[in-house]
Amino acid sequence: MPISSFYGLQTSLRGLLAQQRALDTTGHNISNASTAGYSRQEAVMAASAPLTIPAGGIQSGAGAHLGTGVEVEDYRRVRDQFLDLQFRSQSMRLGYESTRTQQLERAELALSEPSDNGIGQQLTDYWDAWSDFAKNPTDTAAREALIGQARTLTDAFATVDAQFKLVSDQARAQYDAITGPGGEIAGIANDIANLNTAIRGFVSSGESPNDLMDRRDELLDRLSQYGQVTTTDEGGAVTVRFGGAQAALVDGSKANPTEAVAWPQADFTPGDGMLGALHGISKPGGTIDTYRTELHRVAEQLASSVNGLHNGPGVAGGNDFFTFEPNPNDPDPRFSLLKVQATPASLLASTDGTPGGTDLAIKIAALQGGAADTSYRGFVAKVGIDVREARRMEANAEALSNAVDDHRQSISGVALDEEMTNLVRFQRSYQASARAMSTMDEMLDVLINRTGRVGL
């Protein structure tokens, strides 16, 4: 089969077009160097189908393959799926630790320790008021000061308990806002479902919608900070399972955010992202619930120790100094409020009621540093230790997440130095293809315009 004289032009043209597409891809990379979630792309080139031509030989049908140039057969997205899984795992852990640290810091702030307004200082002032009362039990001002300081102390207990409950309620509200209709989870799920539809259509027609896949992976990265994400690729569309829910969060082009993250059906374990931390903070028996129980135990110890003396055996006219009343903001009987039942007139300074006697007041003042104070100091230390440990775990999780992300970016990210090198390389290849085309053009010019002209 004869070969056209114009055959070389087509080969050179293929080279020009291939290098042009490689340059376009490089320009796309450079333009998106700072785009979040973007993966570096490259034009995958391969030799185009050769031309079979007859060739001399003994065997019948012998021939040869003449190269026809180059073609871009794919635009590859440079991405390591294993690193994506690692990053999402670390992102989930970081979401859990950072949210837990934030919530515990708010709980620690509610204690306001050490300060002049904290329960610790109010306990000290309360015991000091008993000491002042013991010095002058008939003084009306001392009686009023003692009752006033006792009420200030009970108000401090009520305030801290209310702040703890507020932290728990706000954590639950934040969980509901994230998982509810119109929340972050629903928005991400719907976006992934829409992208699944578009990507599946392109993949079925043999195309590679790299930018759409980047967008979907970015959404999966964002989703991973809220809880565990598991994906299964099915013909370009991904099925997404979230947390411990049985229902898929995204199934092809359908999103099911309500079924997948319903409270309290969602099965979270320690480390399961932001939602796991919010769930652990605010659930019954959770962290804040435990703190409130510990605080109430301190109040019970205080009431028991003081009432045991002020209304103890053999005390003439004894009566309870403290009592507990239902909490109007929380019907749970575990969190009833400490209240002052005694009045200035009912205060007792002596066991037998002798005017001017001080033995009972001295005994109560001597309770300072006892069970109630010790329990409270232990409780404050526990909260402080929890916060310190949470901060340490957050720092570790952040370091690991950054390390994995740096590794991932070293593969998928755009390196401007490398792209500039590619620009020069593709530019030289383009110039070489253009030079080959110019040479062929000159040869054809000689063939067409000068063949047969003698002496030229």
Q: Is residue 223 part of a domain?
A: yes
How far apart are the C-alpha atoms of 272 and 280, rounded to whole Å?
A: 10
> 238 and 149 share a domain?
no
**Of residues 278, 279, 234, 268, the one with CA closest to residue 252:** 234
> 439 and 381 share a domain?
no
Q: What is the pLDDT of residues 238-248, one digit of tens each?
A: 999 887 777 78
Residue with tokens 């955010």: 257
Q: Is residue 127 part of a domain?
A: yes
Q: Is residue 115 part of a domain?
A: no
Range of the domain at 64: 7-78+416-450
Q: Is residue 111 part of a domain?
A: no
Q: What is the pLDDT of residues 103-154, one digit of tens each?
A: 999 999 999 888 888 999 999 999 999 999 999 888 899 999 999 999 999 9
Strand partners, 327: 330
Q: What is the pLDDT of residues 264-279, one digit of tens each?
A: 545 555 558 899 899 8
Q: How confident is residue 358, by pLDDT bands cut at 50, 70 and 90?
A: confident
> 251 and 349 share a domain?
no
Q: Is residue 84 part of a domain?
A: no
> 18 and 57 share a domain?
yes
> 171 and 290 share a domain?
yes
Q: What is the pLDDT of residues 397-429, one digit of tens each?
A: 999 999 999 999 999 999 999 999 999 999 999
- What pTM, to 2 d.p., does this model score? 0.85
> 292 and 398 share a domain?
yes
Between 308 and 267, name the one with better pLDDT: 308
Q: Is residue 46 part of a domain?
A: yes
> 313 and 376 share a domain?
yes
Strands (E), 57-161: 63-66, 70-77
DSSP assignments along 147-206, one per residue: HHHHHHHHHHHHHHHHHHHHHHHHHHHHHHHHHSTTSHHHHHHHHHHHHHHHHHHHHHTT
Count of structural domains, the chain = 3
Q: What is the pLDDT of residue 391?
A: 95
Q: Is residue 38 part of a domain?
A: yes
CB 352 within 8 A of CB 365: no
**Residue 63 pLDDT > 80, yes or no?**
no
Q: Is residue 169 part of a domain?
A: yes
Which range scores top for mean pLDDT: 68-72, 259-263, 336-340?
336-340
Q: What is the pLDDT of residue 51?
A: 82
How far apart are the C-alpha atoms of 221 and 39, rounded to whole Å?
A: 13
> 254 and 295 share a domain?
no
